[in-house]
Structure 1
Amino acid sequence: MSTALAFQNTSFDVIDQNGKPWLRSPQIAEALGYSQANRVVDLYARHADEFTDSMTAVITLPTSGGPQETRIFSLRGCHLLAMFARTSVAKAFRVWVLDVLERLGESESSPQPRLATKVERKPLVDLVKLWVSMAPIGYGPAFRQVNAAFGVASVEEMTTDMVLRATGWVQARIDAIQRGTATPTPAIAVPHALPALPDDLRERLKAHANKCLDFTGDVCTRARQLMCEGSRLSYEVASHIDPLFHHTPSGYLNKTRVYDAMTTFSSSGIKAIEAGTDNIYLTARLMEGLAAIR
């Protein structure tokens, strides 16, 4: 393969991987406007879970100092790197990558499908609430099951097609409950001679459970929105404070600790919020279930 690629003042030494052009991380760093060649590798390390084997790899390349392992990226991987980069030329680099992809006719590496809007996700969210109201499962665990089934961290990362398929996935579980074919859960041991509760108390318990469900959904949704906003801001903060760290083992360790703190505290907070609101809702469901026993 003899594809020649250049972006502004950077000429790439193209690596042929299965007939497709891949680029070296040091040259990508240069094209993105970084002064240090390892910045792209650091950027990749902070988002490694979002890259697939078809987007990046480590290969051994000959250098003036002998064979050396080098991380390379496909054009699709380059586009994702530029999405995370906060340099002044990152946007222009993304446009250039997409132009190259279009020119080469690589449909696999075309722009990512459009993410679903909040309005488009609402039917799915409402259906999950219905599922939770029918099954002994909390709001957080229910959404974690949906997200895991479609390989995303939250519904905010779903495309319109994924939302449609996820809606069908949840509906199938609701249908199974209505048909009585869902996996039974162990019954809660209760006394045989419970006193009959007044009808008005049962209605108030039911209304309370619905309020708890709405509260759980609203709080968890808002918390995830704040986490996503915080993640975007942490990337910008990281790009500004990176020059403050010395490029030594101790400096790198300190930088890693700071980056980890910015990205993991919010995630832990989300889990705690989900667990707390789930407990509130499940307590309400337990009282409602006891009230139904005659």
Structure 2
Amino acid sequence: MTQALIFNEITLSPVTYQNSLWIRATELARALGYSDTRKITHLYERNADEFTPEMTQVIEIADVPEMGTLENLRRKARIFSLRGCHLVAMFARTPVAKAFRRWVLDVLDKLDAEQHAASPSPTPDDFTGTISLTPSSVADRKPLRALVGSWAKLSNAPFDACWNQLKAAFNLANIKELPQEWIPDALAWVQAKIDALPKALPPQPERLPLYRNGCFYPPHRNWRHVPGPQEAALLELWQDWTRREAGLRQEFMAMLRELDARRGDLFSYAVSDLGRNADTMFSPQCLLDSLFQSRTEAEQRFRQALEDASLHLRLSLNMAVALGR
């Protein structure tokens, strides 16, 4: 019977096939942290072109615990050589995958050393002992604890909550169970959590008093803002603009009313004249429409001119604020 191998307190019972050690897919799944054996099958099927017959085979094997030979074959099962196990672990994305790959390489190195020290044609059955990981000490875990502290500070989360996430990711009931060989992976895992945190926004410049809800917000309401000479001149004009605009509108409306009064007399005369000259090309309705259409168009243009002037003043003042002049 082949000596059992131990990885992370998981006992693997390899079978001897073609004078080599092979691991069942079910045991490989447990070692890599998968609860479903089909995960190993899926990894193999997605990358089958990278496996050679020396890495994986489907054989008939009896479902007998810790069986190390191929007698009394009963069912088909996929098995992986140690190099095949290493390749499967390369595709795995579980927290223990990196540690498992190093462990497999250690086993292969151990087997090579045993074979060179034994007879000219040794077999894997000559391998004795178990491969286990080195327990970590408090000093070994000190950099990891410091990095978790940084993670907690940057994420504004309790240290214990971050620490428990780390233990859960590596299936640890107590951090003392973390082997030395896993510390680089644990550091990388915590660093990935830090890198995934939202980046803090750079310091924003002081908001200039330009627009509020689409309209200009006078800078004199911001007591910390000191206007430049051009801005001060434009601001004085801005503060006077409301009064000027109101006066212009009043003058324009008064002019329209006076025009309507004088035009009324002219219209009455024109209507009586049209009655005396029936062959004229103008009609009273045509004359009436033309007069009032011209009045409406003139009023629209005047209002648009006021809005354009107001917009021009706002833009000029905003530019002076932005340039600090």
Specify the structure having the higher radius of gyration (Cα): 2
Both structures adopt the same fold (TM-score exceeding 0.5): no
More helix by share: 1
Q: TM-score range by the shorter chain?
A: 0.3 to 0.5
* TM-score where L is the length of structure 2: 0.31
- What TM-score do the two structures reach when normalised by structure 1? 0.34
